[in-house]
Structure 1
Amino acid sequence: MINSTLNELKKLNKLNPIKYVPVSVSRKRPKTGLAPGSLIYTGQVYTDEIKIQVIDYTDDHIEEIEITEVAELERFNNPDTVTWINIQGLHDVEVISSIGKLMGLHPLTMEDILDTNQRPKVEEFEDHLYISMKMINHLEDHNKIDIEQVSIIAHNNFVICFQEKPGDVFNDIRTRLRNGKGRARKRGADYLSYMLIDVIIDFYYETLDQVWNKIERLDDLVVRRPDRIELNDIQVIRRDLIQLRRYMYPVRDVVHSISNSQGQFFSDQTLMFVRDSYDHAVQVVENLDTYREILNSVMDLYLSQLSNKMNEVMKVLTVMSSIFIPLTFIAGIYGMNFEHMPELGWAISYPVGFWSLIGVVAVIMVIFMKSRKWL
């Protein structure tokens, strides 16, 4: 349907390329009209294959493997160990559906996992807790912000992470689990869920730091060299902050809901750490608001600088016009074709009379403007 519409638009454009103005083609939401629990992948990231990485550990044991068959996950459903299942790739709905059925996930949970355009949230089911967050990372090589949805399934003895594509911010957690130092392997699956949430929020700080560095550079250039920046430079950062606000604000509510839970999936000891993550989420939101206000001030200052520059140009043009208006008047008088003018018979009327008058009037105009502090 969309392709046929685009073809018609192209034909109209060829018939009347000047007057025809193309219109945007509306896209229908893939899930519109479907029953609740319908599994449809709404994202745009398609990997070569879905990778399933498993880390199964206890206090004195750790096993890290990558499996190729979904049925192999059944042997890791062991209450005596903690299992972290990390799934990279969501485009194959059949594979994701089979994982959900094997692990006993609710159909609405599976629907939310495949819907990558939703707002971050937390939902509590009978035997698991569903947490949806946005994993945000600033890619310095490409100078852009990478945003990816992460769905976390918190169970009593296992944690499942669903990611859209390979690569994440969890390498430090994997290192801590492999080293076996600290409390990472001494706690249960709830502490693993906390670590995942906490490291995602930590990378919010790093992303905002990169954005702040850009705002600082713009602020310095606006004051010293406003001619070296354009309004689009400010608008790009403004759009980034709006997008970050859309995904970071709900995380504060998500962590707050977890910190106030009754302890079914998170123990009291772990909830103390979750409350610390909530403080971090609040700081992130406050920093985000502060950066938005500063960026608005930078934009106002930039527009003010442009206005001042324009005023200076208009001031110079106005002064020049004010000086030359009476001179043009005098030149117009002497340019009239009259036979009887008193100065015409005077031999030195042009070099002395005309140019002296011009000079005297120009000097008087300059002195007058300086007395008014217009120059």
Structure 2
Amino acid sequence: MAKRKHRRTRSKILERKAGIKPGSLFIPFEAFAPRFFLMSFSEDFYEELELKTYKELLQRVTSRPDARHWIDIRGYGDQTMLEQLALDFNLHPLQMEDVVNDYQRPKVEQFDKNRLFMISRMLRWSSENKTLEDVQLSLFTGPNYVISLQSDYEDCLDPLRERIRIGKGVIRKRPTMYMAYAMMDVVLDYYFPVVADMGDYIEDIEQQVLLQSSRDNLTIILDLKSELVKLRRIAWPERDKMTELLRMDEDVIPESLKAYFRDAYDHTIQLIDLIDNHKEMASSLVDLHMSTVSNRMNEIMKVLTIISSIFIPLSFIVGLYGMNFSREDPETGRVLPYNMPELYEPYAYPILISLMATLIIFQLYFFYRKGWFRSF
């Protein structure tokens, strides 16, 4: 998907909508100029074009009322064109507003007997930035057409386009509602590689945490949890959308098509289960990180304890003999027998050093026998 120079957040979108009349189209300044693609087909007819203007696209659609059309508009950078599109195809202004303000949750709305407005979100996992990128796909269904609108030039629908080109399957024989289902199904299919990539990333983080604990790891884990929350916030409305489609009257969704929507519903359930599993794994990474940090701290305290245990008796000996009590009274010259007589022995210094070395060796052996060195 094409990258935007300025990434809009939900708060920025809400700020832009403040005070605007309901149904008004507010075109973001960074919106791409629209490109017009048309796929027209029937069982024995197929035509695919990229048109320069919306007027040419409309002429092509109206000239073949017997065919089914996929009107594919990419880019919102022309407000006049969007307003004219709403007039020509009788699209509700509030729904067009949802199209342009493209941070909507997945949903479905029925605005005529057999016409629907649906929103899906196309996902991609950025291996470079380790973030979840999503683009809104808005669909309008009609008697012989499906209109798809999106803000970017690139999407995940190329496999469906190829199936239509080569006439594979029954998509050319089915009504336009089946084509709308096929689009949503392709979008859902691309969720699984995204979830798998995120699962691989979780395993990489786990190995990184086990090898080295650092503050950066905790930041990475928290960012990952945020992306998983975002993914779950998208997947749950997708399930609700499929539930609403399955509950619609047979005049809108024929019973023969509901089997396909039930299959898509099953896919959403599988996705939610996988996402919940990844969320639990990400939460366990926080516990693993804290446990690794705690173990590392314990190892540090263990080393400091050993060093302290070795030098405490040595410090006692050095401090004791550092008091320098005189053996003789400086005024009378009388010998004071209890004031460290060993200080004046000829071999007192090497004997004391040997005693201290022996004490160190004994302590190290004692710690070794206790198994304190086994984890180093």
TM-score, length-scaled by structure 1 = 0.85
Secondary structure class of the residue paired with 1:167: coil
Q: What is the identity, as a one-letter code, of the residue corresponding to 1:60?
A: D
Corresponding residue number in structure 2 for 1:8: none
TM-score, length-scaled by structure 2 = 0.85
Map 1:140-289 to 2 at 5 A: 144-223=131-210, 225-226=211-212, 230-289=217-276
Corresponding residue number in structure 2 for 1:355: 353
Q: What is the identity, as a one-letter code, of the residue corresponding to 2:360?
A: A
Displacement of 1:89: 0.3
Displacement of 1:27: 8.8
Contact 1:154 1:265 in 2 (8 A): no
Secondary structure class of the residue paired with 2:134: strand
1:328 to 307, 310, 315: 315
Give distance in 1, aligned partners of 2:354 and 2:134.
Answer: 74
Give distance in 2, aligned partners of 1:108 and 1:230.
Answer: 44
Displacement of 1:265: 3.1
1:110 to 89, 96, 101: 96
Displaced runs of 4+ in structure 1, greater than 6 A? 25-28
Cα shift readout 1:18-60 (whole Å, capped 9, x = no counterpart): xxxxxxx999711112222111135x7522x211111111111
Cα shift readout 1:327-375 (whole Å, capped 9, x = no counterpart): 10110111123212211221111111x2243234435544655666555
2:61 to 76, 80, 95: 76
Corresponding residue number in structure 2 for 1:345: 344
Which has the larger displacement, 362-371 or 171-180? 362-371
CA 1:122 to 1:26, structure 2 compared with 1: closer, same or farther past 3 Å?
A: closer
Contact 1:159 1:189 in 2 (8 A): yes
Q: What is the identity, as a one-letter code, of the residue corresponding to 1:56?
A: S
Which has the larger displacement, 75-84 or 260-269? 75-84
Map 1:14-25 to 2 at 5 A: none
Map 1:8-157 to 2 at 5 A: 29-41=15-27, 45-47=30-32, 49-72=33-56, 73-77=58-62, 79-126=65-112, 128-139=115-126, 144-157=131-144
Q: What is the identity, as a one-letter code, of the residue corresponding to 2:357?
A: G
User: Which has the higher Rg, Structure 1 or Structure 2?
Assistant: 2
Paired positions, count: 347
Displacement of 1:185: 0.4
Which has the larger displacement, 316-325 or 263-272? 263-272
Give distance in 2, aligned partners of 1:97 and 1:168.
Answer: 24
Contact 2:209 2:217 in 1 (8 A): no
Corresponding residue number in structure 2 for 1:9: none
- Structure 1: unaligned runs, 5 residues or longer: 1-24
Displacement of 1:295: 1.6
CA 1:70 to 1:265, structure 2 compared with 1: closer, same or farther past 3 Å?
A: farther
Contact 1:122 1:130 in 2 (8 A): yes
- Structure 2: unaligned runs, 5 residues or longer: 1-10, 328-339
Which has the larger displacement, 68-77 or 88-97? 68-77
Q: What is the identity, as a one-letter code, of the residue corresponding to 1:272?
A: A
Displacement of 1:191: 0.6
Which has the larger displacement, 155-164 or 240-249? 240-249
Secondary structure class of the residue paired with 1:264: coil
Cα shift readout 1:134-156 (whole Å, capped 9, x = no counterpart): 11123557765331111011222
Q: What is the identity, as a one-letter code, of the residue corresponding to 2:91?
A: L
Cα shift readout 1:255-307 (whole Å, capped 9, x = no counterpart): 11112211333222111101100100111111001011012112211221121
Give distance in 1, aligned partners of 2:341 and 2:154.
Answer: 93
Give distance in 1, aligned partners of 2:242 and 2:223.
Answer: 29
Give distance in 2, aligned partners of 1:332 and 1:309.
Answer: 33
Give distance in 2, aligned partners of 1:28 and 1:276.
Answer: 35
Give distance in 2, aligned partners of 1:214 and 1:262.
Answer: 43
Which has the larger displacement, 87-96 or 105-114? 87-96
Corresponding residue number in structure 2 for 1:15: none
% same residue: 34
Displacement of 1:79: 4.8
Q: Given the alignment of the two structures, is residue 306 of structure 1 paired with residue 304 of structure 2, yes or no?
A: no
Corresponding residue number in structure 1 for 2:336: none
Displacement of 1:200: 0.3
Please report the RMSD computed on the Cα atoms of aligned residues, expressed in angstroms.
2.4
Q: What is the identity, as a one-letter code, of the residue corresponding to 2:156?
A: V
Secondary structure class of the residue paired with 2:234: helix
Secondary structure class of the residue paired with 2:296: helix
Q: What is the identity, as a one-letter code, of the residue corresponding to 1:57?
A: F
CA 1:274 to 1:215, structure 2 compared with 1: closer, same or farther past 3 Å?
A: same
